Amino acid sequence: MLTLTINFELVSRIFWEQIFYASTLEKETTLESLRIQALEQEKLRADASISTGSISLSSAWALFCVANSINPKSTIEVGTYIGRSTLAMALAMGRSAANESTIYTCDYSNSIDINSTGGVSIEQFKQIGSEQMFATLVSRKVTADLIFLDGRLTDKDAQYLPLLTRPETVYLLDDFEGIEKGVCNALKMAPALSRSHMLIYPPDTELLRRYNLPGRCTIGGWIPTSSVTLSRQ
């Protein structure tokens, strides 16, 4: 019997090429919006109780492209900080006038106000950890189309996730490199997702250069295998 083996690196390359291409026509205006947002959000560092890193412009573009492709109605984020990732996803989610969408986001260390944009509701859980936010959302029967994790999952978090998601939910993980938290999160999620989802590595530098994107992108994740189809072209 013939067996065709395709590794994660190849699947990841195809995924990001398709995702980036789908937003090509909006690239210049979107990147300009993301740059303006970034300048405004940087001012919020002064309000932070604990200052940490924030995502790059390339990572913000990746988040926008995924959200733009799947058009999530409900997104759950761990790690708000100054809101660069929050607003990158909101920028895409707000493009559908018919889609009343919400981002639920928590930050254990900070209580910085993030303004809603484009009609997208942003519900913040300030100085609240992921376990408490997850428990609250489970009690409210919230389920997410998109999950973005920029914080380290606990064992309890991993138990909550199946209650907050559906088979078609997309998971994105920041700091997906080396032994950083994104890789640790992917490994913790693997027992529950490895049969229904495919692991996606961050876009490579060649693709970023092709799109004239500065710096690096460290966004990886899990995408549902049901979202992948074969075409003649």
Between CA 179 and CA 187, with CA 182 as vertex, the angle to 5 degrees is 80
| Structural element, H or E, at residue 62 | helix 57-70
Provide the pLDDT for residue 32.
94
What digits encode the pLDDT tens for the residues 132-175? 999 999 999 999 999 999 999 999 999 999 999 999 999 999 99
Q: Copy the structure tokens of residue 183.
A: 């890789």
Provide the pLDDT for residue 150.
95
Provide the pLDDT for residue 98.
55
- Report how far residue 85's alpha carbon sits from residue 42's, in angstroms, rounded to the nearest whole number: 12
Provide the pLDDT for residue 209.
95
Q: For 50-227, which CATH superfamily applies?
A: Vaccinia Virus protein VP39 (3.40.50.150)
Q: How many other CB atoms are found less than 10 A from the CB of residue 140?
A: 8
Between CA 129 and CA 136, with CA 134 as vertex, the angle to 5 degrees is 100
Cα–Cα distances (Å) from 166 to 122, 146, 162, 163, 209, in that order, read 21, 10, 7, 8, 34
**Across the chain, what does the average pLDDT equal?**
92
Q: Tell me which of 50 and 64 has the higher pLDDT.
A: 64
Which of 19-28, 49-58, 92-101, 141-150 holds the top average pLDDT? Answer: 141-150
Domains of the chain, by residue range, sit at 50-227
Q: Tell me which of 98 and 215 has the higher pLDDT.
A: 215
Query: Does residue 204 carry a pLDDT above 60?
Result: yes
